[in-house]
Structure 1
Amino acid sequence: MTFEACAGIVERGDPDRFLAVMAAPVAARRVLFPIYAFNVEVARAPWVTEEPMIAEMRLQWWRDALEEMASGGTVRRHEVTLPLADMVDGDGARALDRLVAARRWDVYKDGFEDAEHFNEYLDATAGELMWQGARALGAVNREDVLRFGRAAGLARYLAAVAALEEKGRVPLLDGRESAIAELAREALNNIARPVPNNAAFLEAWQAEPILRQIAKEPWRVAQGTVGLSPFRAKLRLLRWS
């Protein structure tokens, strides 16, 4: 139940964040890998079963684990829970519960209720994840980090739309190309990295060029062809780190 186990989970389940963490200083890796491993485990919980009740139980297990961390009591043994408990304080554990609760949307096939619901989902997942990583590494301006994380999360989300549709989900409120391009343009207004710099921001290394790609060629979202070439992606990560 070690840092190395968390790194392996991220490498297998979230390779882009794995590359970002490996570009960070060693001390930051020990903070970020448990947080990102937690995110991998929670994000995949709704997808490992077709039974909503079982998926809900899996998410509740993580909510109960976070409550144990927040209360300062004995934390259930798991290859992620114990390293995570060493990296987040009570406030962090309670905040991450918001992320788990938001993932309940992934269990079902209903669409988002409205734009507020969609933005709340991005805030609670991508935004909160980035904030807790950045906070654990010393960041203090929550709103700037949440805004940046939400924009980066939108880039990832739009890249996943075609896969979500294949799974029977309704991922967008408005799937017209003009509406998708507008989402990307709005997010570009929030994509500047907060200052001072923080290793948790590295996870957004591809966000800006992907959003620019979508704003220019929104048809890529439906076709599932959003993304950078491996060479361009790695070059950008080198420049960011």
Structure 2
Amino acid sequence: MSLQACAEMVERSDPDRFRVAMAAPPPAREILFPLYAFNLEVARAPWRTREPMLAEMRLQWWRDVVENSAAGETPPAHEVAGPLGALLNAGRLDPAPLDALIEARRRDIEREPFAPDALRPYLEGTAGNLLWAGAGGLGEPESSRPAIIQAGYASGLATWLLALPELATHGRGLAILTPDTIHSLAQDALAALSESRRTRFGPGIPALRAASLAAAMLKAASRDPDAVLHGRLALPEGQKRLRLLWVTLRGTW
């Protein structure tokens, strides 16, 4: 039940966010690593069983952890719930976006493809709330929330498109899977990202760097939708590292 356990989990399963957290000041890592580990646990819950009721129970367990910890109860002795609960106990994380993220993940239990117009609310609920929870935990004011949710949607769509070939094999892709649909989605997310960047952000910038790779992937998807369909969207590791280094040195995202 330690920050180190959360960091190791994120390093194994979410290396891009691991690098984002490591580039942040040490006090910010105390928030970001448990938050990112929590996101992994919740995202996996609907995939770990084929029984909808069991998946619901797993998600409800996390909702109870968030609610009870925010109310001051001692969190479970769990490698992620423990550190996350301690942050909620101390008022360092807002429980609202975490609860909303869990609720949005219930959509994954359905095991059905998305209609294109249903994808944005899902990604705002998952990736958007995750980005806002991190930025808010670092001190970003409530007034920034709408712009951060937009950035989270764009970042979430980039990641979702990266995983689309695998999702499609499990019947969880797009109901209308065509190059035109992918191009349209990528353009919509790029517009949302551009709108978000008009906001002047402050202490939440280290968390916002989790969205720093979105533009490159979305532009690639828009130019060449077939790259998404055939699993060629991933950016080279060197390019990702240089991008994060660049925005960190500049103090931007």
| TM superposition score normalised by structure 1 | 0.93
Q: Give the equivalent residue in structure 1 for 2:107.
A: 105
Instruction: Tell me the alpha carbon deviations over residues 144-187 of structure 1, each in whole angstroms, 9 at most, x when there is no partner.
Output: 11111111111101111111112232x22431111211111121
The DSSP-based 3-state class of the residue aligned with 2:74 is coil
Q: Give the equivalent residue in structure 2 for 1:221.
A: 228
Instruction: Tell me the alpha carbon deviations over residues 89-129 of structure 1, each in whole angstroms, 9 at most, x when there is no partner.
Output: 397213211111111121222233661x3222111100000
Q: Give the equivalent residue in structure 1 for 2:251.
A: none
- 2:55 and 2:225 map into 1 onto residues whose CA distance is 32
Residue 87, structure 1, aligned to residue 111, structure 2: no
| TM superposition score normalised by structure 2 | 0.88
Q: Give the equivalent residue in structure 1 for 2:164.
A: 161
- 2:53 and 2:213 map into 1 onto residues whose CA distance is 35
- Give the 5 Å matches for 1:4-153: 4-88=4-88, 89=91, 92-112=94-114, 115=117, 117-140=118-141, 141-153=144-156
Coordinate RMSD, CA, aligned: 1.7
Letter in 2 for 1:105: R
> What is the CA-CA distance between 1:85 and the residue it aligns to?
2.2
Instruction: Tell me the alpha carbon deviations over residues 65-106 of structure 1, each in whole angstroms, 9 at most, x when there is no partner.
Output: 111123222322211122112334397213211111111121
Q: How many residues align?
A: 239
35 and 173 in structure 1: CA distance in 2 versus 1, 3 angstrom threshold:
same
The one of 205, 209, 214 equivalent to 2:212 is: 205
- 1:186 and 1:203 map into 2 onto residues whose CA distance is 19
The DSSP-based 3-state class of the residue aligned with 1:53 is helix
**Poorly superposed stretches of 4+, deviation over 6 Å:** none
Which deviates more, 185-194 or 133-142?
Answer: 185-194
Uncovered stretches (5+) of structure 1, i.e. residues with no partner: none
Letter in 1 for 2:179: E
The DSSP-based 3-state class of the residue aligned with 1:60 is helix
Uncovered stretches (5+) of structure 2, i.e. residues with no partner: 249-253
